[in-house]
Structure 1
Amino acid sequence: MAFTLELEEWVGSVWHRFITRRASVDFPEAQVALMPRQRALHVLLRATGGARHLGVQAVSERDLLLR
């Protein structure tokens, strides 16, 4: 069982590196306006256990940084 979990972790890390290097963030047609959806996202955040002091806010465009 331990080998299976270690193998799963290894495969996950290899996949993560593979897909991250090929990911493109240049899809302006996929841009979503947050303001019309902010209330629904707020409710979803609370429904899934989000703390009261947390919220959903728009941010400026930035580079995608993954671990």
Structure 2
Amino acid sequence: MPPEIGFRPVTPADYPLLLAWLRAPHVREWWGDPEEELALIRDMVEGRDTTRPYLIELAGRPVGYIQ
């Protein structure tokens, strides 16, 4: 049986993980300044933006980000 893939809403507890991902050179190349991007995600989590951010999980472990 393949590992379970799921999605869960981003919470403030996820900010350190997202910031680490955003700082990775191969991610930064596409997403831009990590602090600015995290501020945009924070706006989504806190309801100032109607976009909804989610973490992608594989077998309960975060492996990606989707909006």
Tell me which protein shows more helix as a share of its residues.
1
Normalising by structure 1, we get a TM-score of 0.35
Normalising by structure 2, we get a TM-score of 0.35
